[in-house]
Amino acid sequence: MYNTKRELLENTCAANPDLSPFVILKLSMLCDGVLLSERALDHLQTPLYNFGKVDSFGIQFQGRPADKAMPGAILLRDASNVYINYGEAFDAPYLVDWDPSREEFLLKDGEDVLDTVDFVPRPAFFGKSTSRGTPMESLVDIRAQKLILTAYERCRFWEGGHQCGFCAFFTGGGSHGEADCEDIYETVREAVREPGRFSEIFLSGGSDFGGEHPFDDEVDRYIRILQAVGRNFSGRFSSQLMAPAYTKAQLRRLYEETGLTAYCPNIEIWDESLFPLLCPGKEKYVGRNEWIRRTVDAVEIFGKGKVCTQVVAGAELSSPHGFKTIEEALESNFKACEFFARNGVIFLSTIWRPHRYSKLGYQKMPPLDYYIRLSRGLHDIRRAYGLFCTNDDYKHCGNHPDSDLERLDDYVSVV
């Protein structure tokens, strides 16, 4: 047990010399959370950083001040971005403060300055509206170089209590409708006018099992929206769809009728006994084994390395049903990564952030060491199979510390 975060970081980096210290810092920030000081939050209201007050995924955050806009992801000095649920309750968070004398944001533990950080800058199109009067920022989320479009502000898995146990999406009320295609077209058109800002378009939304066959309505919706996005480009465009595991017929429609280039059906929980408990909607409308089969089948359509899936790392250790030991959880996730890698699918981890409005509620996360061992292991398995992330690396998503480790692989291959 370490008394300070500096001691924790220094000792953890010394024990893991093969890992980037920025990946370790990022994991620690995700585990412990980050609070913004009043000075920092005030400075983040300036035009360079002010993201607005609309959350396109409708998450309810208890501690956010109503009169302040939240920023985007935190940027570390190596350009890694750390996506924080600002306003959540944390047990022992880091602090980001603004130092007017240095004109820098400081990452602190109490009064101890650990590093300097920055924030993803506000996109140029924020504050603008479509021809229908829709605020463009209400349709999107932003990562460093990824434009995230929300197609459907509702998840029908919540009907009958079938939502995933770790999910807090769409808990804040507000709009529940389908995004308008013309709004999407105009928003993307405006976004790509900012030179060098976005290199990928990501599409997602709540799950909709409606239709003659489950998810037919959703597939139709995504085709309409991807076609609207595609009006801004000639041919295929750098893009990823995060959606349920579709049938081959549904996937062929998506690929052949749009410019989509990558697909991400997130399994989120691999273990056979935990999957129906933590992902009851996915179990009811697809089933675990069928979800896995469809994910592998998608490689035939999109190609090796262009199909991803992920685990919500830590939820598999949650109470009351999760694994009792870290070793069990690691074994399960490494088995999943090995299986998917063997079949040309990239298996990633995203860090579970307990949320009081989810079924699992707010509970203690696994220790930092778990996430370090998981990140290293997943990265090593994918590397052994020649898989390299192009959609979910540090420049695009920023939610996957294990893919951040690939930066060294790229460097080694160059030199």
d(CA 349, CA 382): 12
Q: In this structure, what token pair is assigned to residue 194?
A: 């900012």
pLDDT attached to residue 409: 82
Helix (H) or strand (E) holding 115: strand 112-119
Mapped onto helix, strand or coil, the DSSP state of residue 178 is strand
The two beta strands, 146-150 and 200-204, are: parallel
pLDDT score at 356? 83
Q: What is the pLDDT of residue 67?
A: 77
The pLDDT value given to residue 400: 87
Q: Map residue 323 onto helix, strand or coil.
A: coil
Q: Give yes or no for a contact between 252 and 301, defined as CB atoms under 8 angstroms apart.
A: yes
> What pLDDT, on the 0 to 100 scale, is given for residue 178?
87
Contact call for residues 403 and 348 (beta carbons, < 8 A): yes
Average pLDDT taken over every residue of the chain = 91
Query: What residue ranges do the domains of the chain occupy?
Result: 5-119
Cβ–Cβ < 8 Å for 186, 135: no
Residue 415: its pLDDT value, please? 33
At residue 392, the pLDDT reads 79
pLDDT at 52: 67
For 185-284, strand residue ranges (E) read 200-204, 239-242, 262-264
DSSP label of 280 = H
Distance CA 309, CA 268 (A): 8
State the pLDDT at residue 309.
97
pLDDT by position in tens, the chain (length 415): 788 999 999 999 999 999 999 999 999 999 999 999 999 999 999 999 988 655 555 555 555 667 788 888 999 999 888 988 876 778 899 999 999 999 999 999 999 999 999 999 999 999 999 999 999 988 898 888 899 998 988 899 989 899 999 988 766 555 557 899 999 999 999 999 999 999 999 999 899 999 999 999 999 999 999 999 999 999 999 999 999 999 999 999 999 999 999 999 999 999 999 999 999 999 999 999 999 999 999 999 999 999 999 999 999 999 999 999 999 999 999 999 999 999 999 999 999 988 888 899 988 899 999 999 999 999 999 999 999 988 777 777 778 899 999 987 854 443 3
Tokens 């220094």 found at: 10
Write down the pLDDT at residue 414.
35
Q: How many other C-beta atoms lie within 10 A of the C-beta of residue 202?
A: 24
Per-residue pLDDT, 2: 83
* DSSP E strand stretches across 270-332: 308-313
Q: Tell me which DSSP letter residue 147 carries.
A: E
Measure Cα distances from 88 to 58, 110, 143, 148 in Å: 15, 18, 20, 22
Share in percent of the chain as helix, strand, coil (round to 5): 35, 15, 50
Q: Is the separation of the CB atoms in 377 and 401 below 8 Å?
A: no
